[in-house]
Structure formats: C-alpha cells, structure tokens
C-alpha cells in the first residue's frame, strides 16, 4: 500500500512537473537577479586585545578600578554616540560622494538621524571569547560594513584608533584624578595638623606651669622647699635662743657665752629657774614649793644685781660686744624671715600649680588626641598618595588593563553580502517548496477520483473493474519515442557530466592527479 502510495505521489509529481519546473526556474531566475542586483557589502574587522593588568595586583595596584571589559563597553557606548558617528561620517566623507552601496535616490540629503542610524547598523562590536574569566582578558572584534573594501578597512582602523586613544586618555585621566584627590587630601590634613600643633604649643606655653610633664619636678621642688623651710625655722629658733641667751647673759651680768664662765649664783639662778619651770608643770602657782622657789629666785636675783652693779666697767665692755652680736643675729633673723616668706609663697604657688595640673592635662590630652587622629589620617593619606602615584605611573605606562591592537583591519578580498550562492540556493529551495505546495494545493482542491481505493472508500465496496489507460498505437509510439529521447538526454547528460565534473574538480578544487595519488596512498 505504501509502495502504491509512493508511486502514486511520484506519478502526480511527474504529471505536475511542468508547474514545478516553471515555478522553480522562475524562482531561480528571480533569486539570481536579486543576487546580482544587490550591492556588494564589504566587512573589514580589527581585533582588539583587552588585557588584564600587567603588574600583579598584590604588588602594585592600578587606581582605575573598572575592568578592561567594562571600560571597553563604556567606550563602545561613547563611540556609538551621535556626535562621534556624525563626525566620523563627515571625516571619511561617507555619504558625500556616492559610494557603491550608498547610492542616494536623486541625490537627496540624508538627515543626520538616518546617517547615525545607518552608521550604527554598520558597526558591530563583538566579544570573541573571554580568555579567562578571572583575569578578564578578552578579545573584541570591531567590524564595519561598507560598499568598498578600502573604505571599510579605513573606517575600522579609525574606530580602533579612537577606541585605543579614548581608553588611554580615560585611564590616565582617572589615575590623575585619583592622584590629585590624594594630593588635596594630604595638603588638607597637613594644614589641619599644623593648626592643631600650633594650638597645642599655644596651650603649653599658656599653661607651662601646670603641665603634667613638670609635675614631678614641681613636687620635688616643693619638698626641697619645705625641707629648706624647716631648716630655716630651725636656724631661726637657734638664733633666737642664742639671742635670748645673750640678752639674758647680759642682763644677769654673766655673759653666758660671751663674758666668761657663769658665776655660781648665776648657775644657781638658772638651776632654780629650771626647777621652777619644772615645778610649775607639776604644782599650781600658789603651792608652797613654788612660792618658796620664787622667793629664792628673787633673792638670788637681788644678789646678782648687786654683783653687777659692782662690775660696771666690765659690763660696759661686755655690752658693746653684745650689741654687735645682737645686731648680727637680728640681721640673720631678718634675712631668714624674708627667705621664709619667699619660700612659703613659692610653696603655695607650687601647690596651686600641682592642683591645677589635672585640668590642664585633660585639655592637653584632648588636643593631643585630635592631633594624633589627624596624624593617622595624614599618614594614611600619604601612603595612599604613594599608591596613587604608582597607579598613575602604571596607567601612564599603560601597564594597567590595557587595550592593544591585535590585528588591524585590512581591505577584505570578497564581499560578505550578498551571499550570492546562498541567495540562489534559497531561491531554488523556495521555488521547489512553492511549487510542491502548489501541487499539494492542487491535489487537495482536486476532488476527482484518482484511485480505485478512493472509490472503494466512498462506495464501501470495490469497483467492478479498474481500466488502466489504454493508449492508441500512435500514442504508444509517441510515448516510446519520448522515452527514447529522454534516455538519450540522460545518457548525454551523464556522458557530459562525468568529464565536466572531473574538469571542475581539476580546475577549481585540486588537480585530479593529486587526488588520485592521495586516494592511492590512502
């Protein structure tokens, strides 16, 4: 059944062959015409290598953070801006002299919109392949389509130059910006630091007495002053006692220390005075012991007075010596007194300064802390500036993520479009498809009986008979003649085709003898 069906379809096709052939040939002719009529388009392309930074990032870092690929995309956007494209078209005189492929109807002026649109459609950026995702090294392909190979190549090279220039400029600008920023930062922080330091100096000079660093010194000073004060007091006491003893000695006539040894009376008197003093500590004023003692002392003093009166000459001499001694002592005492007041004042000052020290220490600490913070920032800024300097150097010497021209565009040998062969092939295929569709449609629309099976399907019983086509003798002769002619043509085609194919292979593919040798060696 399938076999019958296949034969049936083949026979239908055979009968409709005129249609099929006509439509196919028409389609072929049209496609050939189209392929010939379409203007050629040449595409030139250049490859740009977008490299990752040359210097390892852990040694020195570029200060341009964008990856090269991002950079490329940014530039791509810049290049496809209106102004640039218009400038490029103008520069290359792209639409001025009617190039093949840009023939303007009636020489009318293209609007800038159209020009930009057209240019955009001609330019293609393509990332060929990312060599490694980590480093971001990749190759981009920039291509341009134009009606002339030379023009296409020229445009591509122009574009590429622009890309490279723009990339370099951008990166160095960025690096320079970074450096400038850090420069400014350093300057700012430096002036801040200077200001703070001046403040500190001012504070210190203002509160130099209460500075914490001189606290120990001042404490020691205070102690030594106090020691000195006690010494002075002691000396003063000694002087006073001596003076009093001198005066006493003068008064008793027995200059104790000055006028020789003390008389027994004097000695007694002194002893009694001492005893009195002791007794006074124990007894009251009007106890009998005391009264007795006082009486004795008075009597003794009378005796002494009388004795002194006897020795006036001697006492005169003694008096002048005493005078001298006393004035000396008084002088000393005065000096000591003065010194004491001075020392006491200084101790009071010191104490006050010591008391005031914590407050000024706190103030100073806060100042110092500020200074330290700023100092830290300043140091960091200095370090960063150094990095930025290195980064700028890297960018200046384009060791950062750099673009390099891998392969400049050269004028293409053959146009990329129209792909004439493909157009013709598509035309032929379309023609065949169309004709087959037409045949199918005709067959669908054709509601006539063609096979006994159709009748059987309709009538639910087999037809009585199926008569094949019976040719008249003339028809039979014509058919056999036709068959003979067809066979002859086929034979001629085969006979012509084999040498033709061989010749084609020989002249267009590779010489036959080489192929044969290859075949033999295989």
The residue among 54 and 466 lying less far from another protein, judged by its C-beta, is 466
- Contact status: 448 vs another protein (CB under 8 A): yes
- Contact status: 472 vs another protein (CB under 8 A): yes
- Contact status: 450 vs another protein (CB under 8 A): yes
Which residue reads 């003068």 in tokens?
250
The residue among 121 and 448 lying less far from another protein, judged by its C-beta, is 448
**Which one of 433, 471, 497, 500 is in contact with another protein (CB under 8 A)?**
471
Residue 486 beta carbon to another protein: minimum distance, rounded to whole angstroms: 18
User: Cα–Cα distance between 68 and 77 in angstroms, integer?
Assistant: 14
**Which one of 285, 468, 513, 519 is in contact with another protein (CB under 8 A)?**
468
Question: 117-124: long-range contacts at Cβ-Cβ below 8 A with a sequence spacing of 24 or more?
Answer: 119/85, 119/88, 119/89, 119/94, 120/80, 120/85, 122/146, 123/79, 123/80, 123/159
Q: Which residues contact 476 (CB under 8 A, 6 or more apart)?
A: none
How does DSSP classify residue 101? Answer: T
Strand, coil or helix: 424: helix
The residue among 59 and 464 lying less far from another protein, judged by its C-beta, is 464
- Among the listed ranges 63-71, 138-146, 268-276, 470-478, the one in contact with another protein (CB under 8 A) is 470-478
Q: Which residues contact 258 (CB under 8 A, 6 or more apart)?
A: 246, 249, 250, 318, 321, 322, 325
The answer to whether the beta carbons of residues 127 and 117 sit under 8 Å apart is: no
Interface residues for another protein in 473-502 (CB under 8 A)?
473-474
- Contact status: 458 vs another protein (CB under 8 A): yes
Q: Phi and psi of 454, rounded to 5°?
A: -65, -45
Radius of gyration of the chain (CA): 65
- Among the listed ranges 83-91, 238-246, 315-323, 469-477, the one in contact with another protein (CB under 8 A) is 469-477
Number of residues that bind another protein (CB under 8 A): 28
**Which one of 57, 445, 470, 494 is in contact with another protein (CB under 8 A)?**
470
Using CA atoms, how far residue 445 sits from 224, 449, 454, in Å, is 135, 12, 15
**Which one of 190, 455, 506, 515 is in contact with another protein (CB under 8 A)?**
455
- Contact status: 264 vs another protein (CB under 8 A): no
- Contact status: 13 vs another protein (CB under 8 A): no
- Contact status: 18 vs another protein (CB under 8 A): no
Residue 101 beta carbon to another protein: minimum distance, rounded to whole angstroms: 53
Closest by CA position to 61, among listed 384, 378, 381: 384
Cα dihedral 479/488/491/20 (nearest 10): -50
**Which one of 8, 217, 507, 516 is in contact with another protein (CB under 8 A)?**
8
- Contact status: 7 vs another protein (CB under 8 A): yes
Query: Where along the sequence are the contacts to another protein (CB under 8 A)?
Result: 4, 7-8, 11, 446-452, 454-455, 458-459, 461, 463-474
């Amino acid at each position: 059944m399938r076999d019958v069906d296949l034969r049936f379809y083949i026979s239908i096709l055979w009968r409709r062959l005129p249609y099929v052939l006509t439509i196919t040939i028409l389609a072929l002719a049209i496609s050939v015409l189209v392929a010939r009529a379409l203007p050629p388009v040449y595409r030139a392309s250049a490859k740009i290598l977008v490299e990752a930074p040359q210097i390892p990032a852990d040694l020195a870092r570029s200060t341009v953070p964008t990856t090269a690929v991002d950079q490329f995309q940014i530039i791509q956007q810049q290049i496809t801006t209106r102004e640039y494209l218009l400038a490029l078209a103008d520069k290359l005189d792209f639409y001025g002299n009617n190039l093949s492929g840009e023939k303007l109807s009636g020489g009318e002026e293209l609007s800038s919109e159209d020009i930009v649109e057209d240019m955009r459609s001609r330019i293609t950026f393509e990332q060929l392949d990312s060599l490694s995702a980590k480093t971001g090294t990749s190759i981009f392909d920039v291509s341009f389509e134009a009606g002339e190979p030379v023009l296409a190549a020229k445009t591509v090279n122009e574009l590429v130059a622009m890309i490279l220039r723009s990339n370099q400029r951008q990166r160095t600008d960025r690096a320079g910006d970074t450096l400038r920023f850090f420069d400014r930062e350093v300057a700012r922080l430096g002036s801040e630091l200077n200001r703070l330091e001046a403040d500190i100096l001012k504070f210190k000079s203002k509160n130099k007495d209460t500075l914490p660093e001189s606290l120990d010194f001042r404490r020691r000073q205070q102690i030594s002053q106090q020691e000195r004060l006690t010494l002075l007091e002691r000396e003063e006491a000694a002087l006073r006692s001596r003076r009093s003893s001198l005066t006493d000695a003068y008064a008793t006539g027995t200059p104790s220390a000055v006028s020789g040894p003390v008389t027994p009376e004097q000695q007694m008197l002194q002893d009694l005075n001492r005893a009195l003093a002791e007794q006074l500590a124990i007894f009251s004023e009007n106890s009998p012991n005391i009264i007795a003692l006082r009486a004795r002392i008075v009597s003794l003093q009378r005796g002494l007075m009388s004795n002194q009166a006897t020795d006036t000459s001697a006492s005169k001499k003694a008096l002048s010596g005493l005078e001298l001694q006393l004035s000396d002592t008084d002088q000393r005492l005065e000096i000591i007194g003065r010194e004491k007041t001075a020392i006491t004042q200084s101790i009071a000052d010191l104490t006050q300064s010591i008391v005031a020290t914590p407050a000024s220490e706190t103030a100073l600490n806060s100042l110092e802390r500020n200074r330290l913070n700023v100092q830290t920032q300043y140091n960091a800024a200095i370090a960063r500036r150094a990095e930025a300097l290195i980064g700028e150097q890297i960018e200046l010497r384009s060791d950062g993520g750099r673009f390099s021209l891998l392969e400049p565009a050269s004028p293409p040998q053959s146009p990329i479009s129209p792909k004439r062969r493909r157009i013709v092939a598509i035309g032929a295929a379309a023609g065949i498809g169309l004709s087959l569709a037409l045949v199918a449609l005709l067959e669908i629309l054709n509601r006539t009986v063609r096979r006994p099976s159709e009748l059987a399907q309709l009538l639910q019983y087999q037809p009585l008979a199926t008569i094949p086509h019976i040719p008249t003798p003339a028809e039979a002769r014509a058919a056999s003649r036709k068959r003979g002619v067809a066979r002859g043509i086929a034979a001629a085609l085969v006979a012509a085709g084999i040498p033709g194919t061989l010749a084609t292979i020989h002249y267009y593919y590779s010489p036959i003898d080489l192929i044969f040798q290859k075949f033999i060696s295989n």
